[in-house]
Amino acid sequence: MRSLPDPSRSTERGVTLVELMIALVVLAVGVLALAQTFPAGGRAQGRDRMFSSANSYMQDKVELLSTKNWSDAELDLGRHPASGFDTVGANRILLRYYEVAALASPLDNLRKVTVRMNWQYLGARACSTTIYVRR
């Protein structure tokens, strides 16, 4: 008859409590480092959404102005509106205005129209686009 192996002489070894604690600390540090990227991603997504909205509203104004006649009041030289801004967007936080400038000869048959957008999101932000309207 065979005898049972002596458990005190086993070559198998388990994980000690110290090794388990070290593994948990390493895992916790990794999870905390990964968790910090989520707020940064949310801020970047909000910033990019505002920039996309601003570009969309600028493009709307550019398309409207490009269909106007040279003599239209919206293409008079200067800033439009003369003071303040057009507030656009779902929360009315996008501020839009445009400037019309005459060009020197030989380009005096063109007007330069620059549409600008300003908004506040994690600091002051702005973007602009320029078109040229022919007489």
- pLDDT tops 80 at residue 63: yes
Q: State residue 92's pLDDT score.
A: 86
Contact present, 128 and 58 (Cβ < 8 Å): yes
Whether residue 10 is contained in a domain is answered as no
- pLDDT tops 70 at residue 1: no
Whether residue 12 is contained in a domain is answered as no
Give 66's contacts (C-beta < 8 A, 6+ positions apart).
131, 133
Whether residue 111 is contained in a domain is answered as yes
What residue numbers bound the domain in which 70 lies?
17-134
Whether residue 53 is contained in a domain is answered as yes
pTM beyond cutoff 0.85 = no
The per-residue b/e assignment along 3-21, b for 16 or more CB within 10 angstroms, e otherwise, is eeeeeeeeeeeeeeeeeee
Whether residue 8 is contained in a domain is answered as no
pLDDT in tens, 26-61: 999 999 988 888 888 888 898 999 999 999 999 999
- Tokens standing for residue 57: 């509203």
Residue range 64-76: mean pLDDT, rounded:
90
pLDDT in tens, 79-99: 999 988 999 988 888 999 999
Residue range 110-133: mean pLDDT, rounded:
93
How many domains is the chain built from?
1
The percent of residues above 70 in pLDDT, for the chain, comes to 91
Beta bridge partners of 13: none
Whether residue 97 is contained in a domain is answered as yes
Q: How many CB atoms neighbour CB 97 within 10 A? A: 18
Whether residue 11 is contained in a domain is answered as no
